[in-house]
């Protein structure tokens, strides 16, 4: 199996993602420059966090037109796994691979801290090693993580079990108090209907080793590897 | 030459914490009883066409493709002759 980490001008979490795949997951991984047009040899694409194109206009709005994004849309249509983390999630929303949009954090601050999220759906390629409702400690670091979708959209997300992670308290209460950024329904991560494109605001690559304060994020990468192994029979 | 002024605003149904903060600031300056303050973006573009109809079409396309996100934003624009 082969992982690819996309690099846009302004990405800044690509090395962390690369490091986790290569040194913690021990799987082959390559950087993919955003002007690249060939994704054929990859099984999973990671859109990392950062400030692609300086977040000018709106987060992800300009990255949307990078040549690689068209390829990633085709890749996703063919069933390839795509995970967007933080700015990667914002880009997936702008290209409409995931529904909804991001607004500025409700308190207008850049929030950089550990949060807890609840695993609402563990039947995905990205979360199959978590228990249902497992509470995970992961860091967030963003200015625009206030997820928004219209009422019908939210209904569909709920109906199709597309909400994968919800912000919660340490004890697992999903409420206003445990919502760091104002995100609708405490949404921290969603998946597309087909189940192969995940976007999430917390950073699993920054919480994949004990030395970093939490390794709760690592099972995301391990779940992906397990799922790919199963699918490819390797 | 034609110049476009494009206004991008958050949809009415979406809360605007920046506008709210500024409303509070204005009120603390003594401007009591303000109904609402909302913040948007202004984009100006000097166009490469002199034809108003064509300009309108181009700017509308630009808004839809890039300048505004229809999920959260509305846009409006005016096009005028400048020297």
CB nearest to A148's CB, from B14, B17, B18: B14
User: Looking at this predicted complex, what is its ipTM?
Assistant: 0.88
N-terminal to C-terminal alpha carbon distance within chain A: 9
Please indicate whether residue A203 is annotated as part of the active site: yes
Predicted confidence band at B83 (pLDDT cuts at 50, 70, 90)? confident
**Contact across the interface for A101 and B72, Cβ inside 8 Å:** yes
B59 pLDDT above the threshold of 60: yes
Chain B residue numbers with beta carbons less than 8 Å from the beta carbon of A103 are 10, 14, 72
Q: Print burial letters for A107-126: b (CB count within 10 Å at least 16), e (below 16).
A: eeeebeeebbbbbbbbebbb
pLDDT at A177: 97
| B46 strand-pairing partners | B3
B66 touches chain A (CB under 8 A): yes
Q: Are residues B8 and B74 in contact, defined by beta-carbon separation less than 8 angstroms?
A: yes
Chain B residue numbers with beta carbons less than 8 Å from the beta carbon of A101 are 69, 71-72
**Contact across the interface for A58 and B14, Cβ inside 8 Å:** no
A234 pLDDT above the threshold of 70: no
pLDDT at A132: 96
A186 pLDDT above the threshold of 80: yes
A233 pLDDT above the threshold of 60: no
Helices (H), A145-200: 151-159
Give the containing element (helix H, strand E) for A222.
Answer: helix A218-232
**Contact across the interface for B18 and A148, Cβ inside 8 Å:** no
**Contact across the interface for B69 and A106, Cβ inside 8 Å:** no
Cα A43 to Cα A82: distance, rounded to the nearest angstrom: 9
Q: Print burial letters for A162-185: b (CB count within 10 Å at least 16), e (below 16).
A: bbbbbbbeeeeebeeebbbbbbbe
Cα A123 to Cα A217: distance, rounded to the nearest angstrom: 16
At A107-120, the pLDDT tens digits run 999 999 999 999 99
User: What is the set of domains in chain B, with CATH numbers?
Assistant: 2-81 (3.30.1280.10)
Q: Compute the mean pLDDT over every residue in chain A, rounded to the nearest whole number.
A: 96
pLDDT at A222: 98
At A188-205, the pLDDT tens digits run 999 999 999 999 999 999
CB nearest to A106's CB, from B10, B17, B71: B17
pLDDT at A37: 87
Distance (Å) of CA B63 to CA A47, A67, B6: 25, 20, 8
CB nearest to A101's CB, from B15, B67, B71: B71
Mean pLDDT over A4-23 rounds to 98
At A39-97, the pLDDT tens digits run 989 999 999 999 999 999 999 999 999 999 999 999 999 999 999 999 999 999 999 99
Please indicate whether residue A86 is annotated as part of the active site: yes
Residue in chain B nearest A61 by alpha carbon: B66
Residues of chain A with pLDDT > 70: what percent?
99
Residue A203: half-sphere exposure toward Cβ, Cα within 13 Å? 27
User: What is the set of domains in chain A, with CATH numbers?
Assistant: 3-232 (3.40.50.880)
Mean pLDDT over A6-14 rounds to 97
Residues of chain A with pLDDT > 90: what percent?
97
Mean pLDDT over A156-169 rounds to 98
**Contact across the interface for A108 and B17, Cβ inside 8 Å:** yes
Helix (H/G/I), strand (E/B), else coil: A148: strand
Residues of chain B with pLDDT > 90: what percent?
99
């Amino acid at each position: 199996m082969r992982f690819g980490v996309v690099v846009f001008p302004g990405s800044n979490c690509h090395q962390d993602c690369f490091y986790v795949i290569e040194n913690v997951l021990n799987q082959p991984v390559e950087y993919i420059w955003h002007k690249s047009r060939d994704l054929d040899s990859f099984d999973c694409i990671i859109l990392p966090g950062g400030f692609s194109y300086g977040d000018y206009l709106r987060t992800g709005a300009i990255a949307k037109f990078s040549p690689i994004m068209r390829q990633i849309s085709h890749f996703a249509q063919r069933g390839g796994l795509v995970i967007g983390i933080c700015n990667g999630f914002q880009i997936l929303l702008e290209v409409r691979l995931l529904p909804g949009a991001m607004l500025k954090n409700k308190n207008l601050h850049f929030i950089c801290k550990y949060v807890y999220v609840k695993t609402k759906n563990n039947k995905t390629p990205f979360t199959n090693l978590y228990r249902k409702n497992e509470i995970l400690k992961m860091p967030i670091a963003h200015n625009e993580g206030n997820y928004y979708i219209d009422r019908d959209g939210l209904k569909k997300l709920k109906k199709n079990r597309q909400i994968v992670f919800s912000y919660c308290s340490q004890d697992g209460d999903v409420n206003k108090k445990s919502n760091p950024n104002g995100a609708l329904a405490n949404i921290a991560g969603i998946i597309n209907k087909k189940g192969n494109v995940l976007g999430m605001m917390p950073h699993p690559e920054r919480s994949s080793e004990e030395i970093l304060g939490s390794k709760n994020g690592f099972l995301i990468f391990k779940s992906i590897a397990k799922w790919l192994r199963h699918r490819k029979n390797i | 030459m034609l110049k476009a002024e494009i206004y991008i605003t958050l949809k009415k149904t979406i809360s605007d914490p920046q506008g709210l903060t500024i409303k509070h600031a204005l009120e603390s300056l003594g401007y009591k009883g303000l109904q609402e303050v909302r913040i948007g973006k202004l984009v100006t573009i000097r166009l490469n066409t002199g034809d108003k109809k064509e300009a309108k079409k181009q700017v509308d396309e630009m808004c839809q493709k890039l300048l505004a996100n229809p999920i959260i934003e509305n846009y409006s624009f005016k096009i005028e002759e400048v020297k």
